[in-house]
Amino acid sequence: GAGVSQSPSNKVTEKGKDVELRCDPISGHTALYWYRQSLGQGLEFLIYFQGNSAPDKSGLPSDRFSAERTGGSVSTLTIQRTQQEDSAVYLCASSLTTGDTQYFGPGTRLTVL
């Protein structure tokens, strides 16, 4: 079946612009997670959703970062006033329910010039 999909696959933007990253989880998965991975680094947790609620936003680096999920499906991660240090691969994962096996999408590579 279809896996987790993310769009765009690559995004190049200028410092100070806003960007939106989209994640489509596996159909029927109620939990959705956002991570980011900088070059050569490990996974950095950002936020997770159970349904449309975000019980844990502890990983969001600053108030420039926000995420929402509507209809218990698609999620959007928004970064306002992007900075060069925001450059990374943003990964989305979903699981059947919270705590279950997480399946990752291919990621969005964000480059802030």
Partner 1 sequence: DAKTTQPTSMDCAEGRAANLPCNHSTISGNEYVYWYRQIHSQGPQYIIHGLKNNETNEMASLIITEDRKSSTLILPHATLRDTAVYYCIVRVVYSGAGSYQLTFGKGTKLSVIP
CB 110, CB 90: distance < 8 Å: yes
CA–CA gap between residue 110 and residue 93 (Å, rounded): 17
Sign of the CA dihedral running 41, 43, 47, 49: positive
Question: Locate tokens 């990621």: which residue?
Answer: 107
Tokens of 12: 């190049």
**Closest to partner 1 by CB, 59 or 72:** 59
43 binds partner 1 (CB under 8 A): yes
Q: For residues 51-70, which are near partner 1 according to CB under 8 A?
A: 56, 58-59
1 binds partner 1 (CB under 8 A): no
**Closest to partner 1 by CB, 46 or 112:** 46
String of contacts with partner 1 for each residue 80-109, x by CB under 8 A = -----------x-x-x-xxxxxxxxxxx--
String of contacts with partner 1 for each residue 7-36, x by CB under 8 A = ------------------------x-x-x-
Q: Which of 55, 36, 53 is nearest to 93 (CA)?
A: 36
Tokens of 104: 């990752």
β-strand partners of 90: 36, 108
What residues line the site for partner 1 (CB under 8 A)? 4, 31, 33, 35, 42-43, 45, 48, 56, 58-59, 91, 93, 95, 97-107
